[in-house]
Every structure is written in C-alpha cells, then in structure tokens.
Structure 1
Amino acid sequence: MALKSLKKKRRIQVIALAAVSLVVAVALIGYAFQDGINFFRSPSQVVESPPKSNEVFRIGGLVEEGTLLRGQGEVISFNVTDGGASVPVVFSGILPDLFGENQGMVGTGRYVNGVFEASEILAKHDETYMPKEVVDALKEQGVYVEPES
C-alpha cells in the first residue's frame, strides 16, 4: 500500500514540476519577444486608430506619386498609401535600390505627431514581388492590380 502511495505522490510532483516549467518557459519567451514582435498596419488602419507614439510597428503600402522628397543629407520624406488613406513618412538612411514612387514598401518605426518615423525601409526585391501584407491592404481598399506576367 505504501509503495503505491509513494508512486502516486512522485507522479503528482513530476506533473506539477512540468507544469511550472512550462509556465516559466512561456513567460520567458513572451518577455523575449516583447520588443521583437512588430504588428503590421495599413495606412488606413493607422489613420483610423493611431497607435501610441512608443509603439513600434510595420506599415506598408505604395509610395504615393509626387511625394518623394530628399532633404538634407540622408533624410527622405514621402507618403505611403493603400488607396484609402495616406501617412507621411520620414526616414534617415539609405533607401533600397528598388525603392521609388508607385512601388510597394514596408517600413518599421513609430507614429509620432501624425508622422511615421521609420527606422527601417524595405522595398520589393524584383519587378513583380510585393509583400503579402501590402497586397492584402491594397485589396481591402480595392486598388490592387495583378501584375502582368
């Protein structure tokens, strides 16, 4: 009898230890990803419900024609649009080679005082590619056109 009770007690201890270990592991993973997860928003979503200025997120769409301005040094400003809304963007750095007006782009940064301050800009990597999030945002606004093959 005592042997069965001891085995049952040991089994419960192992299960409890495994549960506590799982909770600790999930908490550590969540803490590690706290700054690493960047949510995607379209320009329309940013205009409808502006995120807090300390929140890092990704925005994507098309570079609006006629808005690309190169300032002093490496400062670049432009508007990104999904056909429904436009968001002004400022970026200090070197743009990808394929970056241009009416081209798809995704930027990472913060929305501060009505301007998206980008820390990173990504552009499509060939003539036909556009990030899935950008395609979805453009389709939602009804302005996406399938590229010709």
Structure 2
Amino acid sequence: MTTSPIRTIAAEWDWEASLPPAPAVRAGDTIYLSGQIALGPDGSLVGVNDLAAQARQCFANIRSILARDGATMQHVVKMTTYFACPLTDEVTAEYWQVREEVFGTHRPASTGVSVSALIYPEVMLEIEAIAVLAPARHA
C-alpha cells in the first residue's frame, strides 16, 4: 500500500473548516497555502480600513498554517499579494514595512496584483504563499 505524497493540512479555526478550500496542501516537500485574508481566529475581520493591520493578520495566519506542518516563514519561497485598494506610495510603503517586520532579511520571490475586489468588501489584501521544506539540491 502506498500513501499519496499529497495531503491536506487540517483546518484549525472554525471559520477555516466551514470553507471549501483547504488552508493548505502539502505535495512532497512543498506547501501551497490558500490565499489568506485578515480573519482572526474567531473569524472576524481584523483591521477594517487599516492595510498594515490586515497585512499583519494575513501573515499571522500564514505563520500559523505553516507551523501546523513544521514550517516557518523562512520556508516561504513565493508569495502573491492581491490588493483591493488603491496602490498609493503610502499603501506600498506600509505593506513593505510589514513584510520587513515579518521576514527580516529573508526575501521570497513575490508578485503584487491590483484587483477590483476580494471576497468581502472590507478586505484590502489577500496573500498566497508557497513554502518548501527540503533544502534545494544542486546539480
């Protein structure tokens, strides 16, 4: 009997369990996280009209999901951030400041995309992440 190298990382919060997507899926040594919005553990939106507070909560959710499978933010190799707010210089600076707080000198590859809306009108951003647990192998 063989086991699949693909498995779902379990939901921890009630609101996660009620949603169709898995919080994350692990395929081999790679963890693919569903996009995270600024919902706190109780399911309420954190930081209405506050991009920095929402970004911090998104990253806190990512950190929590990664920890469920033994990973940290230092394992993140790629992120995509979807912004549903005007991307002014101030907004961009706030986001980069929070990212630096979260990652320090670690610099995952990243893409930022401006979108017209996300799942709830008050949500200003959503962040997807990919993490790799195994060290890179060189040929």
TM-score band, normalised by shorter chain: 0.3 to 0.5
- TM-score normalised by length of structure 1: 0.31
Q: When you count helix as a share of all residues, which structure comes out higher?
A: 1
- Higher relative CO (CA 8 A, sep ≥ 6), structure 1 or 2? 2
- TM-score normalised by length of structure 2: 0.33
